Amino acid sequence: MLRFMSLSSGSCGNCYYLSTGEHGLLIDAGVAFRRLRKVFTLNSISPDSIDAILVTHDHLDHVRHLGPYCEHLHKPVYTTDMLRRALLRHGSMAECLPSCSRIIEEGEWTDLGFASVKAFVVPHDATQTLGYAIVIGGHRFVIMTDLGRMTEEALELASEADTVVIESNYDMDMLMGGRYTYELKMRIVQGNGHLSNDECAAAIARFWHPGLRNIFLCHLSENNNTPDLAFRAASEALDSIGVEKGSVSLRCLPRRVQSPVFTLQAD
Protein backbone atom coordinates (compact mmCIF):
# COMPACT_ATOMS: atom_id res chain seq x y z
CA MET A 1 0.00 0.00 0.00
CA LEU A 2 1.23 3.47 -0.89
CA ARG A 3 -0.23 6.64 0.60
CA PHE A 4 0.03 10.13 -0.87
CA MET A 5 -0.93 13.52 0.51
CA SER A 6 -0.47 17.09 -0.65
CA LEU A 7 -0.05 19.56 2.20
CA SER A 8 -0.24 22.51 -0.21
CA SER A 9 0.07 22.91 -3.96
CA GLY A 10 0.54 26.25 -5.70
CA SER A 11 2.43 29.52 -5.46
CA CYS A 12 1.28 29.78 -1.84
CA GLY A 13 3.49 26.80 -0.96
CA ASN A 14 4.26 23.24 -2.04
CA CYS A 15 4.84 20.09 -0.02
CA TYR A 16 3.94 16.46 -0.72
CA TYR A 17 4.16 13.30 1.38
CA LEU A 18 4.56 9.78 0.04
CA SER A 19 4.59 6.77 2.36
CA THR A 20 4.62 2.99 2.43
CA GLY A 21 3.58 3.11 6.09
CA GLU A 22 7.05 2.07 7.19
CA HIS A 23 9.00 4.59 5.12
CA GLY A 24 8.17 8.07 3.91
CA LEU A 25 9.37 10.82 1.59
CA LEU A 26 8.72 14.54 1.58
CA ILE A 27 8.88 16.38 -1.72
CA ASP A 28 9.58 20.09 -1.22
CA ALA A 29 9.32 22.18 1.94
CA GLY A 30 7.03 25.08 1.16
CA VAL A 31 4.84 24.90 4.28
CA ALA A 32 5.89 25.76 7.84
CA PHE A 33 7.16 22.94 10.02
CA ARG A 34 4.53 23.75 12.65
CA ARG A 35 1.83 23.19 10.03
CA LEU A 36 3.49 20.01 8.80
CA ARG A 37 3.50 18.65 12.34
CA LYS A 38 -0.16 19.62 12.88
CA VAL A 39 -1.31 17.96 9.64
CA PHE A 40 0.66 14.85 10.48
CA THR A 41 -0.89 14.69 13.95
CA LEU A 42 -4.40 15.04 12.54
CA ASN A 43 -3.69 12.13 10.18
CA SER A 44 -1.93 9.95 12.77
CA ILE A 45 1.39 10.24 10.94
CA SER A 46 4.66 10.47 12.84
CA PRO A 47 7.34 12.87 11.57
CA ASP A 48 9.73 10.02 12.31
CA SER A 49 8.24 8.21 9.31
CA ILE A 50 10.01 10.71 7.03
CA ASP A 51 13.21 9.10 5.79
CA ALA A 52 14.27 11.69 3.20
CA ILE A 53 13.37 14.97 1.53
CA LEU A 54 13.51 15.63 -2.21
CA VAL A 55 13.72 19.20 -3.54
CA THR A 56 12.43 20.20 -6.98
CA HIS A 57 13.93 23.70 -7.25
CA ASP A 58 14.97 26.81 -5.36
CA HIS A 59 11.89 29.03 -5.67
CA LEU A 60 10.66 29.99 -2.22
CA ASP A 61 7.20 28.49 -2.57
CA HIS A 62 9.01 25.13 -2.64
CA VAL A 63 11.86 25.63 -0.16
CA ARG A 64 10.92 28.49 2.18
CA HIS A 65 10.91 26.21 5.25
CA LEU A 66 13.66 23.76 4.30
CA GLY A 67 15.97 25.13 7.00
CA PRO A 68 13.55 24.32 9.86
CA TYR A 69 12.84 20.90 8.28
CA CYS A 70 16.55 20.14 8.45
CA GLU A 71 16.80 21.49 11.99
CA HIS A 72 13.84 19.51 13.36
CA LEU A 73 13.84 16.33 11.29
CA HIS A 74 17.58 15.70 10.76
CA LYS A 75 16.79 13.75 7.58
CA PRO A 76 18.84 13.63 4.35
CA VAL A 77 17.91 16.22 1.73
CA TYR A 78 18.54 15.05 -1.83
CA THR A 79 19.39 17.51 -4.60
CA THR A 80 21.79 17.79 -7.49
CA ASP A 81 25.03 19.65 -6.81
CA MET A 82 23.81 22.62 -8.87
CA LEU A 83 20.60 22.88 -6.88
CA ARG A 84 22.43 22.43 -3.57
CA ARG A 85 24.71 25.38 -4.33
CA ALA A 86 21.67 27.52 -5.17
CA LEU A 87 19.93 26.55 -1.93
CA LEU A 88 22.98 27.45 0.13
CA ARG A 89 22.60 31.04 -1.08
CA HIS A 90 19.36 31.22 0.92
CA GLY A 91 20.40 32.54 4.33
CA SER A 92 17.96 30.37 6.27
CA MET A 93 19.49 27.19 4.84
CA ALA A 94 23.19 27.97 4.94
CA GLU A 95 23.57 26.77 8.53
CA CYS A 96 21.38 23.64 8.55
CA LEU A 97 21.52 22.26 5.00
CA PRO A 98 25.18 21.21 4.76
CA SER A 99 24.83 18.50 7.43
CA CYS A 100 21.70 17.07 5.76
CA SER A 101 22.64 17.46 2.11
CA ARG A 102 23.05 14.44 -0.15
CA ILE A 103 23.97 14.75 -3.83
CA ILE A 104 22.24 12.83 -6.59
CA GLU A 105 23.06 12.91 -10.28
CA GLU A 106 20.39 14.01 -12.71
CA GLY A 107 19.27 11.29 -15.09
CA GLU A 108 20.59 8.45 -12.91
CA TRP A 109 18.76 6.16 -10.50
CA THR A 110 19.77 6.57 -6.86
CA ASP A 111 19.09 3.87 -4.26
CA LEU A 112 17.76 5.38 -1.01
CA GLY A 113 17.47 1.98 0.62
CA PHE A 114 13.67 1.98 0.81
CA ALA A 115 13.13 3.56 -2.64
CA SER A 116 14.90 4.31 -5.90
CA VAL A 117 14.78 7.85 -7.24
CA LYS A 118 15.62 9.40 -10.59
CA ALA A 119 15.83 13.18 -10.90
CA PHE A 120 15.11 14.60 -14.35
CA VAL A 121 15.45 18.20 -15.47
CA VAL A 122 12.39 20.13 -16.62
CA PRO A 123 12.29 23.64 -18.13
CA HIS A 124 11.45 26.38 -15.61
CA ASP A 125 12.97 29.73 -14.72
CA ALA A 126 14.76 28.60 -11.57
CA THR A 127 18.44 27.74 -11.15
CA GLN A 128 17.55 24.14 -11.94
CA THR A 129 14.17 22.43 -11.77
CA LEU A 130 13.74 18.70 -11.25
CA GLY A 131 10.97 16.22 -11.62
CA TYR A 132 11.27 12.89 -9.85
CA ALA A 133 10.53 9.30 -10.80
CA ILE A 134 10.25 7.21 -7.65
CA VAL A 135 10.04 3.43 -7.34
CA ILE A 136 8.70 2.67 -3.87
CA GLY A 137 6.61 -0.07 -2.31
CA GLY A 138 5.99 -1.77 -5.63
CA HIS A 139 4.76 1.49 -7.22
CA ARG A 140 6.21 3.76 -9.89
CA PHE A 141 5.42 7.36 -8.99
CA VAL A 142 6.30 10.46 -11.06
CA ILE A 143 5.97 14.08 -9.97
CA MET A 144 6.62 17.07 -12.22
CA THR A 145 5.55 20.50 -11.03
CA ASP A 146 6.61 23.93 -12.32
CA LEU A 147 7.50 23.10 -15.89
CA GLY A 148 7.16 25.39 -18.85
CA ARG A 149 6.83 22.57 -21.37
CA MET A 150 6.96 18.81 -21.52
CA THR A 151 10.14 16.97 -22.37
CA GLU A 152 10.55 13.58 -23.99
CA GLU A 153 12.26 12.27 -20.86
CA ALA A 154 9.35 13.36 -18.68
CA LEU A 155 6.86 11.75 -21.05
CA GLU A 156 8.84 8.51 -21.12
CA LEU A 157 9.03 8.26 -17.34
CA ALA A 158 5.35 9.11 -16.94
CA SER A 159 4.47 6.44 -19.49
CA GLU A 160 5.96 3.84 -17.11
CA ALA A 161 4.27 5.10 -13.93
CA ASP A 162 1.11 4.02 -12.13
CA THR A 163 0.77 7.47 -10.51
CA VAL A 164 1.61 10.85 -12.07
CA VAL A 165 1.47 14.24 -10.37
CA ILE A 166 1.58 16.90 -13.09
CA GLU A 167 1.20 20.67 -13.20
CA SER A 168 -1.98 22.11 -14.73
CA ASN A 169 -1.34 25.73 -13.89
CA TYR A 170 -3.50 28.02 -16.00
CA ASP A 171 -6.36 28.39 -18.42
CA MET A 172 -5.11 30.38 -21.39
CA ASP A 173 -8.25 32.53 -21.71
CA MET A 174 -8.27 33.38 -18.02
CA LEU A 175 -4.58 34.26 -18.07
CA MET A 176 -4.69 36.44 -21.18
CA GLY A 177 -7.87 38.18 -20.09
CA GLY A 178 -6.67 38.67 -16.53
CA ARG A 179 -4.92 41.44 -14.63
CA TYR A 180 -1.33 40.17 -14.85
CA THR A 181 1.13 42.42 -16.67
CA TYR A 182 2.09 41.53 -20.22
CA GLU A 183 5.62 40.68 -19.03
CA LEU A 184 4.34 38.26 -16.40
CA LYS A 185 1.95 36.61 -18.85
CA MET A 186 4.84 36.04 -21.26
CA ARG A 187 6.99 34.66 -18.47
CA ILE A 188 4.28 32.09 -17.74
CA VAL A 189 3.54 30.96 -21.30
CA GLN A 190 6.87 31.04 -23.14
CA GLY A 191 8.30 27.63 -22.34
CA ASN A 192 10.12 28.24 -19.07
CA GLY A 193 7.17 29.20 -16.89
CA HIS A 194 4.22 26.95 -16.24
CA LEU A 195 2.13 24.30 -17.97
CA SER A 196 -1.37 25.23 -19.13
CA ASN A 197 -4.44 23.05 -18.82
CA ASP A 198 -4.32 22.33 -22.54
CA GLU A 199 -0.61 21.47 -22.47
CA CYS A 200 -1.15 19.22 -19.47
CA ALA A 201 -4.07 17.52 -21.20
CA ALA A 202 -1.99 16.94 -24.35
CA ALA A 203 0.78 15.41 -22.24
CA ILE A 204 -1.69 13.09 -20.49
CA ALA A 205 -2.94 11.87 -23.87
CA ARG A 206 0.65 11.04 -24.80
CA PHE A 207 1.82 9.33 -21.62
CA TRP A 208 -1.35 7.40 -20.78
CA HIS A 209 -0.84 3.64 -20.76
CA PRO A 210 -2.91 0.72 -19.45
CA GLY A 211 -1.01 0.58 -16.15
CA LEU A 212 -1.70 4.22 -15.25
CA ARG A 213 -4.05 4.36 -12.27
CA ASN A 214 -3.77 7.81 -10.69
CA ILE A 215 -3.35 11.33 -12.08
CA PHE A 216 -3.12 14.33 -9.76
CA LEU A 217 -3.25 17.84 -11.21
CA CYS A 218 -1.08 20.17 -9.16
CA HIS A 219 0.01 23.81 -8.85
CA LEU A 220 -3.29 25.26 -10.14
CA SER A 221 -3.17 29.06 -10.36
CA GLU A 222 -5.42 30.89 -7.94
CA ASN A 223 -6.00 33.74 -10.40
CA ASN A 224 -5.89 32.04 -13.79
CA ASN A 225 -7.51 28.66 -13.32
CA THR A 226 -10.23 26.71 -11.58
CA PRO A 227 -10.31 23.05 -10.55
CA ASP A 228 -13.29 22.53 -12.89
CA LEU A 229 -11.41 23.85 -15.91
CA ALA A 230 -8.27 21.83 -15.17
CA PHE A 231 -10.24 18.65 -14.51
CA ARG A 232 -12.35 19.08 -17.65
CA ALA A 233 -9.32 19.52 -19.93
CA ALA A 234 -7.59 16.42 -18.55
CA SER A 235 -10.79 14.37 -18.57
CA GLU A 236 -11.52 15.28 -22.18
CA ALA A 237 -7.99 14.24 -23.13
CA LEU A 238 -8.56 10.80 -21.61
CA ASP A 239 -11.92 10.54 -23.37
CA SER A 240 -10.32 11.51 -26.69
CA ILE A 241 -8.03 8.48 -26.65
CA GLY A 242 -10.76 6.10 -25.53
CA VAL A 243 -9.72 5.55 -21.92
CA GLU A 244 -12.41 3.59 -20.09
CA LYS A 245 -14.27 5.54 -17.41
CA GLY A 246 -13.05 4.66 -13.94
CA SER A 247 -9.83 3.01 -15.06
CA VAL A 248 -7.85 6.12 -14.06
CA SER A 249 -8.49 8.19 -10.94
CA LEU A 250 -8.18 11.89 -11.87
CA ARG A 251 -8.05 14.53 -9.10
CA CYS A 252 -7.09 18.18 -8.64
CA LEU A 253 -4.91 18.93 -5.62
CA PRO A 254 -6.10 21.88 -3.52
CA ARG A 255 -4.20 25.09 -2.92
CA ARG A 256 -3.31 26.25 0.60
CA VAL A 257 -4.93 23.30 2.39
CA GLN A 258 -4.02 19.66 2.64
CA SER A 259 -5.64 17.01 0.51
CA PRO A 260 -7.01 13.80 1.96
CA VAL A 261 -4.52 10.98 2.40
CA PHE A 262 -4.96 8.98 -0.78
CA THR A 263 -4.35 5.24 -0.98
CA LEU A 264 -2.83 4.68 -4.38
CA GLN A 265 -3.89 1.81 -6.57
CA ALA A 266 -1.60 -0.07 -8.92
CA ASP A 267 -1.66 -3.37 -10.78
Determine which helix (DSSP H) or strand (DSSP E) holds 42, and give its type and residue range. helix 33-42
At 250 the pLDDT is 98
At 267 the pLDDT is 66
CA distance 106 to 168: 24
Helix (H, G, I), strand (E, B) or coil at 15: strand
CA distance 211 to 250: 14
Which stretches of the chain score pLDDT less than 70? 266-267
This prediction has a pTM of 0.97
Phi/psi region, residue 191 (left: phi>0; alpha: psi -120 to 50; beta: rest), is left
At 13 the pLDDT is 96
Phi/psi region, residue 242 (left: phi>0; alpha: psi -120 to 50; beta: rest), is left
At 36 the pLDDT is 96
At 117 the pLDDT is 98
All domains of the chain, ordered by start, with CATH? 2-264 (3.60.15.10)
Q: Which residues pair with 15 in a beta bridge?
A: 8
At 118 the pLDDT is 98
